[in-house]
Structure 1
Amino acid sequence: MPLSEAVRVRRVGTPSPEPARERHVVGPVHLIWQAGAIRHVSIDGIEVLRGIGAVIRDDNWGTHTLCTEADEARPGRDAMEFTYRAGVSTARAGPGESPLALELHARLDDTALDVRLAMTARARFATCRSGLRVLLPLLGVVGSNVEVEHCNGLIETGCFPRHISPGQPFFDIRRLSFTPTPQRAIDVHFDGDVFEMEDQRNWSDASFKIYNRPLALPSPYRIEAGKTVTQRVRLQWRNAAGAAP
């Protein structure tokens, strides 16, 4: 193995080079776009979201490699538009034969980040989890107050865990509202499936992860051939007093 590949294996666990990172700015918002994933969303220089992206698991909780078909960032007058299309790579699928096709669209303006994902099964697809996952940073979040709206409309108030939580801190999430800085309040809306949260510090990752399909449901499950599954995550920000920024 060439030295450069050996170094990458030690650093990130794979010899494949890391996809290029693109930095984009709209108003007070900075983010990184990297091969269909949005990373390090910062407002006024403070990180409020660690990442949003699609993760496709196989029927044994392994992570499928995505084969990029389109990757585009388009600046506009007041917004950025992002498009990512990919197929799932499997040992049995040749070029153009991916059993699952993904299309992700994102739009960023100075008030919101809107991410939509469509997954279409070209053949019956077995998976333990497929969809959008959201990572929250620890700084400004750990121990802070949070409001959780559940899918039945009920509101729960609580706090993000200060100490590492071995169980899921929150279940059945439709909306999370929290204030990572004294100036900004954040609302994150989830659609398309039932989402819940786990504390990634259990696995030495400095984040809280919000993912679709509750762990209490049976796995693996199947997406039938011809079916399209859609999900949406919308991040909005406002000043802590409740007025628009």
Structure 2
Amino acid sequence: MTSGNPSAADLKAIFGTDRKPDAETTHRLGSFEVTMANGQITAIHRAGQEIARGLTYLLRDKDWATCPADSDMPHAAGKIDVQGRIDASGIAFSYSLTVEPDGHDALTVRSIGVAKSDFLANRIGLTILHPVPDTVGVPLEIRHLGGGHTQCQFPRHIQPSQPAFDIAALSYPLPDGATLQITFEATNPDGTPVCFEMEDQRNWGDASYKTYIGSLLDPWPFAVKAGAVFKQSIRIAVSPASKVRSKTRTTVHKPRPFRLPELGASIPLGQGPEALLNITHHGAPPAAFVSAYLRSDRIDPDDLQAIKDVAELLSCPLRLELEIHGKPKETVPQVARKIRGCGLNVAQILACPAPYLKSYQPGGDWPDVEPLEVFYARVRDGFPTAAIGGGMLTYFTEINRKWPPTDTIDFIGHAYCPIIHASDDKTILQNAATLPLMADTIAAHARGLPYDLISASLSMRSNPYGAVPVPNPEGRRMAMAQADPREGGAFAGLWMLAIAEKLGQTHARSFCVGALAGPASIYDACAKDGRRPSFDAFAALANLAGADRQTFDAEVARLRTTTYAQAWAALRHLHV
């Protein structure tokens, strides 16, 4: 693959699509290097130091999906100008973005957005990302819209709610001892001032904290009328380090002795027959266990039989992930009888009440669900020989907002998807850095309990933040996509290796990546051998269970120079 003009075949082999990654350009503005891609700021550096992991203009629709934008960057001397347009799902919107130096050590980003139609939105405007791990635990000063100040720090353990509210300015030290000052200004269409707010994006699997326009405390979605104008700006300024530098930074994550967790093979909802067909026709991968996803209201005997056959063919214990719909008192015994009736020998199960498949703000209105202690007791009664898990079938966000009672469960788990907020190649690989921080937070809440990452995939298997994951018939790189095209390319294999490398630094007992069927499948019936490139990474990781750092690194190096040589040459500059 030539870096300048890769062929469609090369792109397909690496990314599972012949769509090129967004081209990046770097612009020197004062003392800053501003990297742009697809009309958005993807990074800001100064003196080789990362100042921001992104500074973007986004419109999030009523389901929190990011509306795709088309943009132009007309030539402008000494500054960056962007003209953007959104026309999707009944939303018409245009915006302009200007980035220019304000002296040598300051940079200002200004935006004006104009609604061209009536629509509902959850967020419109500027967002800045503070990079992890550089900012974790760092002292932080907040100036509020009314003029008051708060002294705090970027949280170490991942926060379920916003760590900072009512933000007009932020100030904190950089790794080299300099001070970064960020000032925010914004007005509503009616001219009233708007504050910014911060969330701990690690909660969603992003390697950053995010400061964004508006507040999650305000009602959403909100109605936008055609003609509404949104004005905002962010100013970034750096003050040089003093000659005497104080010690303000602490160790973020102390890695344990490296040990690779055992790897399981996933069967997505309703995909038992397809999984069985794949391993029968195209070869069975090694795996420590099989993990099948079920819904209590969609139990299919043919699906259960196929799941049983897969576990027997792989000579693996069976784990279940189970949505409980309806009243648990009635539903749990009913579904347990159906599962036992098909002869499934369940080694462990993580069940979840259906209302908890959606996400709720920590201080918001939660559904009326029986206490989890009672719920887990029902599950244990239904599956008396199985280990009973607590946690969520969705993502870390949800478990961090509703911790299970640890004295009633045998293990704890959640799923992971790296494209909840952004879907570019670099962000996906960067986001793997959050996994050790998730594990640290899990350990703080559930000391001594085994920890399983029950699912990790590039494609979003469920959407707790909206109706469903976003359909992706054109195979684009998009946030919250139901099917990510990179599952079909070598990218997925390299991503699996990156996930495993981070998990090996934690106390995680097991993990699942990819799947035996569905969007994240390691199989492709159209391929010559029926397998996607990710099959090789999956098989290698399964065989490496319990491996130390030296053994793991040697196998990764082998794969990068053989199976994934072409992809590694194209992507190695993105690995962090």
TM-score range, shorter chain: 0.7 to 0.9
Q: Tell me if the contact between 1:100 and 1:125 (Cα under 8 Å) persists in the aligned partners.
A: no
Aligned: 1:104 with 2:92: no
* d(CA) in 2 for partners of 1:141, 1:73: 34
- Which has the greater radius of gyration? 2
Deviation of the 1:7 alpha carbon: 4.2
SS in 2 for 1:17: coil
Task: Say if 1:170 and 1:196, in contact at 8 Å, map to a contact too.
Answer: yes
Among residues 28, 39, 45, which one is paired with 2:31 in the alignment?
Answer: 28
**Deviation (angstroms), 1:67:** 1.8
Match among 53, 59, 62 for residue 59 of structure 1: 62
> Shift in Å at residue 27 of structure 1?
4.7
Residue type of the alignment partner of 2:11:
S
CA contact 2:9–2:18 (8 Å) conserved in 1:
no
Q: Pick which of 102-111 and 168-177 moved more.
A: 102-111
Distance, in Å, in 2 between the alignment partners of 1:15 and 1:158 is 47
Give ranges in structure 2 of 5+ residues lacking alignment: 1-7, 187-193, 244-576
Distance in structure 2 (CA, Å) of the matches to 1:155 and 1:41: 26
The corresponding residue for 1:89 is 87
Is this contact kept in 1: 2:178–2:238, CA < 8 A?
Answer: yes
Give matches, 1:155-194, under 5 Å: 155-192=149-186, 193-194=194-195
In 2, Cα distance between equivalents of 1:125 and 1:15:
33
Does the CA-based 8 Å contact 1:21-1:33 persist in structure 2? yes
Q: Alignment partner for residue 76 of structure 2, among 74, 77, 90?
A: 74
Structure 1 residues 5-63: Cα deviation after superposition (integer angstroms, max 9, x where no partner):
57435xxxx87432210012245322212222222211111112111010111122111
* Residue-by-residue CA offset, 1:60-90 (whole Å, 9 max, x unaligned): 211101022x213534xxxx31111121121
Q: Following TM superposition, by how much is the alpha carbon of 1:169 offset from its aligned partner in structure 2, in angstroms?
A: 0.8
Q: 2:52 maps to what in 1?
A: 49
* 1:17 corresponds to 2:20: yes
Superposition map of 1:90-169 within 5 A: 90-92=88-90, 99-108=92-101, 110-169=104-163
* Structure 1 gap segments, 5+ residues each: 93-97
- Shift in Å, 1:166: 1.6
The residue type equivalent to 1:106 in the other structure is V
Residue 447 of structure 2 corresponds to: none
The alignment's TM-score, normalised by the length of structure 2, stands at 0.38
Q: TM-score, normalised by structure 1?
A: 0.85
Q: 1 CA distance for matches of 2:30 and 2:94?
A: 33
In terms of fraction of residues, the more strand-rich structure is 1
Q: Tell me, in whole angstroms, the C-alpha distance in 1 between the residues paired with 2:85 and 2:32.
A: 30
Partner of 1:95: none
- Could you tell me which residue of structure 1 aligns to residue 201 of structure 2? 200
CA distance in 2 between counterparts of 1:23 and 1:144 reads 28
Structure-2 change in CA distance of 1:73 and 1:181 (3 Å): farther
| Contact 2:43/2:55 (<8 A) preserved | no
Counterpart of 1:110 in structure 2: which amino acid?
H
Distance in 2 (CA, whole Å) between partners of 1:73 and 1:111 is: 23
- Contact persistence 1:35–1:84 (CA under 8 A): no
Aligned with 1:201: secondary structure? helix
Paired AA for residue 81 in structure 1:
K
How far apart are the structure 2 equivalents of 1:145 and 1:187?
13
> 2:29, 2:100 within 8 Å by CA — same for their partners in 1?
no
- Identify the residue that residue 218 of structure 1 maps to in structure 2: 219
The whole-number CA distance in structure 1 between the counterparts of 2:197 and 2:75 is 30
Equivalent pair of 1:111/1:236 in contact (CA under 8 Å) = yes
CA distance in 1, matches of 2:135, 2:123: 26
Q: Alpha carbons of 1:214 and 1:5: their partners in 2 closer, same or farther (altered >3 Å)? A: farther
Question: Matched residue of 1:99: which SS?
Answer: strand
Judging by fraction of residues, say which structure has more helix: 2
Q: 1:239 to 1:201 in 2, by over 3 A?
A: same
Aligned AA for 1:107?
A: E
Q: Does 1:4 align with 2:5?
A: no
Counterpart AA for 1:201: R
Determine the C-alpha separation between the residues in 2 that align with 1:173 and 1:234: 13
Would the alpha carbon gap of residues 115 and 26 (structure 1) be closer, same or farther in structure 2, given more than 3 Å must change?
Answer: closer
RMSD: 2.2
Q: How many residues align?
A: 228
SS in 1 for 2:203: helix
Task: Give distance in 1, aligned partners of 2:109 and 2:171.
Answer: 17
Q: Displacement of 1:226 after TM fit?
A: 1.3
Q: Provide the C-alpha distance between the structure 2 equivalents of 1:65 and 1:157, rounded to a whole number of angstroms.
A: 37
- In the TM superposition, residue 171 of structure 1 has moved relative to its aligned partner by 0.5
User: CA–CA distance in 1 between the matches of 2:141 and 2:207?
Assistant: 21
Give the structure 2 partner of residue 240 of structure 1: 241
SS in 2 for 1:72: coil
